[in-house]
Amino acid sequence: MKVEKTNLWPLVLFKTSKLFWVFICFVLMLFGCTAQEKKFVTMKKENTPNNSQLNMTPEIQKTEEEWKQILTPEQYHICREKGTERAFTGKYYNTKEKGVYKCVACGNELFSSDAKFDSGTGWPSFYSPIDSTKIMTQMDYSYGMTRVEVMCRRCGSHLGHVFEDGPKPTGLRYCINSLSLKLEKNNP
Ligand SMILES: [Zn+2]
C-alpha cells in the first residue's frame, strides 16, 4: 500500500503542473483581451469626446430605396452596407489637390485636404476631420477584428475606420473609402 501511494506522486505532480499551466494560459488570455479592449475604449473616449453627448441618430433619415435612388450601386454598398473598396482602386487615395472632401450621400463637409496624408495603404487618409462633430464613431467587431468605425454624423453613412497609427498632430489615421467622398476643389 505504502509503495503504491509513493508511486502515485509523479502522476499527481504532473496533473498539478498541467492544470497550473492551463490556468496560467487562461489568465494571460483574459488579461490580453481586457487590455486590448481597454486600449480601444480609451481611444474612443479620447478622440471622440463629443460623441457621448451627441445624439447618435442621424439628422437625415431615408429609406434604403431612397438611398438607392441617390447613390450608385458601388456607393450604396460602401455607404449603406458598410463595404470597403479595394485598396489602390479608389478615386482619391493619391489625390493631392486642395479642397474639401464632402460626404457623397449628403454633402456634409467631412475632411480638408490640409489634413490628408499619404499613408501608403491605398485609401484616402486624414489625420483629423474638419470638426469632430462632423463624424461619429462606434466599435466595429466584424470580421474577427476590433476596429473603430467612422460614419457621417449627418446621414449615418459608413465612411471607413480610424486607427491610432497616424502622423502628428493627432496620431490618428482616418482610413476612408473614396466612394464615400466627393472632393470639392478650391477655386484656383
Ligand atoms: Zn453624410
pLDDT tens-place string over residues 174-185 = 999 999 999 999
C-alpha torsion 128→122→44→107, nearest 10: 60
At residue 20, the pLDDT reads 57
At residue 187, the pLDDT reads 80
**Do the strands 181-185 and 116-117 form a parallel or antiparallel pair, or are they unpaired?**
unpaired
Residue 147's φ and ψ, nearest 5 degrees, are -135, 170
Is residue 175 among the annotated active site residues?
Answer: yes
Q: Which of 79, 103, 106, 175 is catalytic?
A: 175
**Cα gap 158→135, rounded to integer Å:** 10
pTM of the model: 0.73
Q: How far is CA 116 from the centre of its chain?
A: 17
For residue 21, count other CB atoms closer than 10 A to its CB.
Answer: 10
In the 8-state DSSP scheme, what is residue 59?
Answer: S
pLDDT tens-place string over residues 34-81 = 444 444 444 444 444 444 445 678 999 999 999 999 999 999 999 999
Q: Are 47 and 161 in contact (CB under 8 A)?
A: no
3-class SS of residue 57: coil
Distance in Å, CA 153 to ligand 1 centroid: 7
Give 21's pLDDT tier (boundaries 50, 70, 90): low
Average the pLDDT over each of 53-67, 125-139, 148-162 and give the range with the smallest value: 53-67
Average the pLDDT over each of 6-20, 88-102, 158-172 and give the range with the smallest value: 6-20
Q: Would the pLDDT of 107 be above 80?
A: yes
Distance in Å, CA 182 to ligand 1 centroid: 11
At residue 37, the pLDDT reads 45
Distance in Å, CA 148 to ligand 1 centroid: 18
Amino acid at 135: I
**Cα gap 95→110, rounded to integer Å:** 16
Cα–Cα nearest to 54, from 156, 130, 140: 156
For residue 8, count other CB atoms closer than 10 A to its CB.
Answer: 9
**Cα gap 32→27, rounded to integer Å:** 8
Cα–Cα nearest to 47, from 140, 141, 121, 150: 150
Distance in Å, CA 54 to ligand 1 centroid: 16
